[in-house]
Chains A and B, each alone.
Chain A
Amino acid sequence: MDVPILLLAGTGLARGAIFAAFALALVLIWRAARIANFAQGAMATVSCYVAFHVTALTGNYWLGLAAALVSGAVLGWVVERGVMRFVDRSNPLAAVIVAIGLVMVLTSTLAIAFGADYRPMPAPFPREPIRIGDVAVISPYSLFVLAVVAVLMLALALLFTRTGVGLAMRAAAFAPEVSRLNGVRVDRMRTLGWTLSAAVGGLAALLVIPTELGLNPHAADLLFVYAFTVAIVGGLDSPVGAVVAGLAIGVILTFVTAFAGATFAPIAIVVILLGVLLVRPQGLFAAREARVA
């Protein structure tokens, strides 16, 4: 068989960019609130259902995409203000357990409301690869994904390094007491972190679903696991780590899928996780201290 290395690499990079975006959403909440948001996959799936229905009603993909962003932001706000705010912060397991409860509530509500069938999600650009001569290079949809994620990363980088709000968010996460004394509304910054993160997560899930089986209440379960792996490999504290590890794992998984079949991908993830944790537990980018926090 002639292996389209270039095409696989391009598809892998696009997938990896989505993992990176989703992992970045995890990093956002981790840095804002020191919570690993296990509900992020389920929250993103809710956004995708909103997008699906908006697109189905209006026939316009871009309105659906906007709806995913907005509904993600609203959901993030609601979850932080309505639930996470009341979690015992002295117990780091409490937030994880509450988030797991949210996953169960959200996915079962979706399944009750819409059923468990896979619904095909439309892609705004063809997924057939462009050919240069006889060589399949990359699909327009992969290019679109890469562009969206690049814009997203750039916007987030600008927000955090060039704006007052970004500075306040970083300060609130890094030194809440001192920030409060300096007039930063720390609670508000934490809510903003959740809002941003959930919007990013919704967008990432919306990008990945056309390349998978379709929309389903559990559509983002594996995406969450992949992104969490990315976060472990890259370090939950490190946005750069999330991007690099995301791209690498996207490419690895795409090659694994191409050579060993799609069912093997989850096993490959566990092997990567076990391998990284046994051999290099401090991750590739984060300081060791961050992992025991």
Chain B
Amino acid sequence: MTTTTTAARAADAGDAPMPSPADAPGPRPRFTATARGRYAVAAAGLVLAIGATFLLDPYRNYLLSLAAAYVCATAGLTILIGRTGQLSLGHAAFMATGAYGFALTSNALAEAGIEGPVLLLVPFLVAVIAATAFGTLVGAAGARLHGPYLAGLTLAIVLALPAVTSTFSGLLGGDQGLYVRTERRPEVLSAVIANEQWQAWVALVAAAIVLVLLAQLGRSPSGIRMQAVRDDTAAARLSGIDPFRVKVQAFAISAGAAGLGGAVLAYVTQAASPGAYGLSFSLFLLVAVVVGGTGTLPGAVWGALLLVLLPEAIAAVTDALPLPDDAVSRLDGNLAVLIFGALLVVIMIAAPRGIQGALVALRGRIRSRTTRTTST
């Protein structure tokens, strides 16, 4: 049990003795001590981000939508790993559940001639419910297990995904996946903004909802119970906490967040296919969480941005270099995996608190310097 105690402690950058401000989203987390403050910060951040979509061209808005979708998944995963010490390598499978749930519902509604807000919102709801239900099942199987065992189970699930889609190819479209018919931007807006910009708005709202709810969760009794179970299962049980229920709950919530992320991806890309949720992508989510700073929600945002920006940067560099086509096609995709893998190893060994840990340390240093200068 002692190993469990120390287990995720080191993995959790937000594990300061004081309620750390690091768990809330937004650039000024110092003001987020209250729930109302967190709403305010989230709303301000959302308004800023939506304002930013007016400055971006359609492709960059598309990238922003991807980042927002990834934020849903990485935020869910970082809470799972950081708060409960449960390691999932298969969150891409929950994203896929959300994406397929969204696709099937949206197509069925569109088939029935339903349009408007119902066609926009109901598929998201179904996606979250489907992913949460699947997460509950996997969480129940994995709740008695720790680190390596649970990681193996989730790895098996994500590797089985292509087999599932080709076995039920009538419903899920096999390797090709599904084309998703979606509700487009409202008529009123169509003169003002491009569809990519509208999609970015939807994605940003989804990410904001996930971040606020997970920040609330972290402060709530449920969040405290999760930490208690992680730090000392026996002590938690003595205090009347049911560790099994707490872990399953955390897994279900985390899967639900990932499901929403997958639904956003399905909405933005208008497709749901097994290739988009493979093993590499699933491991990328883990990289994002660790590099951003495990257990911290701002870290999940940094990580998601990295997932979008780094491959873009790599593609720009390989395009600029005078390489033969053969070499370019080999480097395409693989170089990103190589760099992400190396980052994962180096960060885990040299700086396990990730970007957010570095930022918090930096802020602490600046603050202590300013207080010193004002006191003298």
Contacts and interface: CB of A to CB of B under 8 A. Distances in A.
A96 interface: yes
Interface in A66-95: 83, 86-88, 90-94
A86 B350 CA distance: 9
Interface size class of B (residues with CB under 8 A): 35 or more
A45 interface: no
A59 interface: no
A269 interface: yes
B153 interface: yes
Interface in B328-376: 330-331, 334-335, 337-338, 340-345, 348-349, 352
Contact of A278 (B89, B141, B149): B141
A25 B269 CA distance: 42
Interface stretch (A106-114, A169-177, A242-250): A106-114
A258 interface: no
A102 B341 contact: yes
A274 interface: yes
Interface stretch (B6-14, B23-31, B33-41, B207-215): B6-14
Interface in A246-282: 263-267, 269-270, 273-274, 277-278, 281
B1 interface: yes
Interface string B35-50: 0000000000000000
Most buried by B among A90, A91, A104: A104
B246 to A, nearest CB: 15
Nearest to A35: B148
B345 A83 contact: yes
B164 interface: yes
A92 B146 contact: yes
Interface stretch (B154-162, B178-186, B254-262): B154-162
Interface of B is mostly: helix
A30 to B, nearest CB: 8
Nearest to A293: B3
Contact of A274 (B3, B11, B141, B334): B141
Contact of A105 (B6, B151, B233, B341): B341
Contacts of A103: 283, 341
A292 B145 CA distance: 6
Contact of A97 (B157, B162, B290): B290
B152 to A, nearest CB: 4
B159 A222 contact: yes
A91 to B, nearest CB: 4
Interface size class of A (residues with CB under 8 A): 35 or more
Contact of B352 (A88, A225, A266, A291): A88
Given A91-B9, A98-B348, 19 more contacts: A36-B147, A38-B155, A91-B10, A92-B3, A92-B7, A93-B11, A98-B345, A100-B344, A101-B342, A101-B344, A105-B345, A111-B334, A112-B330, A224-B155, A225-B159, A266-B162, A266-B163, A274-B153, A277-B145
Interface of B: 1, 3-4, 6-11, 81, 85, 87, 89, 137-138, 140-142, 144-149, 151-153, 155-157, 159-160, 162-164, 166-167, 233, 279-280, 283, 286-287, 290, 330-331, 334-335, 337-338, 340-345, 348-349, 352
11 contacts: A83-B349, A88-B349, A90-B9, A91-B11, A92-B148, A93-B7, A93-B11, A100-B344, A105-B341, A228-B156, A277-B142
